[in-house]
Chain A
Amino acid sequence: MRHKIKLNCEKSRLVDLRAFLNKVLSKTTLSEITKNQVILAVDEVCANLIIHSHDCNPSDQIALEVTESGDQLVFEIKDHGEGFNILEYKQPELNAVKKERRKGGLGIILVRKIMDNIEFESTGNQNTCRLIKLINSK
């Protein structure tokens, strides 16, 4: 299976992203809870790109491709511009988030906890973030 969607970099498009993922994942055997987790992780990465890499500029786009092969689901998110390397991001401690009254930083923690593998690569101007979920894992 292979499904693609392109999103303009607006926060209001996240709801379309989730509707797309819901439809795609309805054909899998994932439990409702795992499905929600996976949708959440992809939402978090896309929201990060839309807000931090693209300053919510609606003329910028990010592309998502979902493929199911064997025992894994792969979510490949591509954008152009200054890359956000999720692997290099130093995630905050939960207590520090509370003490500093900060609202950000939780998304990446969620992505790392939910996904089985995360890859990031930058080639020229194009960045690719690959989120991999093993089916029947966790």
Chain B
Amino acid sequence: MLQIDIREENGHVILVLTGEVDASNSVDLDNAIQGLIQPKKKIIMDGSALEYISSAGLGVFMSYLEEFETNEIQFVIIGLNSKVFNVFHILGLDQLITIKTNKEEALQELYEA
């Protein structure tokens, strides 16, 4: 089960993932991110309630990295638990995607960098 909530805040959008991302629902994550693509957008993906992610979900993030760069979109992931972070780390995605501990750090990255 995956629940996706999108919350607009002042200047940025927060994409909240709750549950598990696998091959059965990664298309929902894909559609949600696709809907957020807009030049210079600032996106925070809150993964603090994300319990599991498989390569299908990681592949969705990977497939947007170029588009984020082209559109100067800033994308930061926050709140990953150690199991989920470990999966990003095994693949080296923590080197390609900005991952921060919490929202404060993400906002610093988005607005002070």
The chain A residues found within 8 Å of chain B, CB to CB, are 11-12, 14-15, 18, 32-33, 36-37, 40, 43-44, 47, 50-51, 94, 97-99, 101-107, 109-110, 113-114
Contacts and interface: CB of A to CB of B under 8 A. Distances in A.
B107 interface: no
Given A14-B23, A101-B62, 11 more contacts: A15-B20, A36-B52, A43-B54, A47-B22, A47-B56, A98-B66, A98-B96, A101-B66, A102-B59, A102-B63, A113-B91
Interface of B: 1, 20, 22-24, 26, 30, 52, 54-56, 58-60, 62-67, 82-83, 86-87, 90-92, 96
Contacts of B66: 98-99, 101
B23 A106 contact: no
Contacts of A36: 52, 83, 86-87
A77 B57 CA distance: 23
A103 B60 contact: yes
Contacts, number: 86
Contacts of A18: 20, 22, 52
Contacts of A103: 26, 30, 56, 59-60, 62-63
A15 B59 contact: no
Nearest to A105: B59
Given A102-B59, A107-B55, A94 B91 contact: yes
A47 to B, nearest CB: 4
Nearest to A18: B52
B23 A51 contact: yes
B63 A110 contact: no
A8 B48 CA distance: 32
A18 B52 CA distance: 10
B18 to A, nearest CB: 15
B62 to A, nearest CB: 5
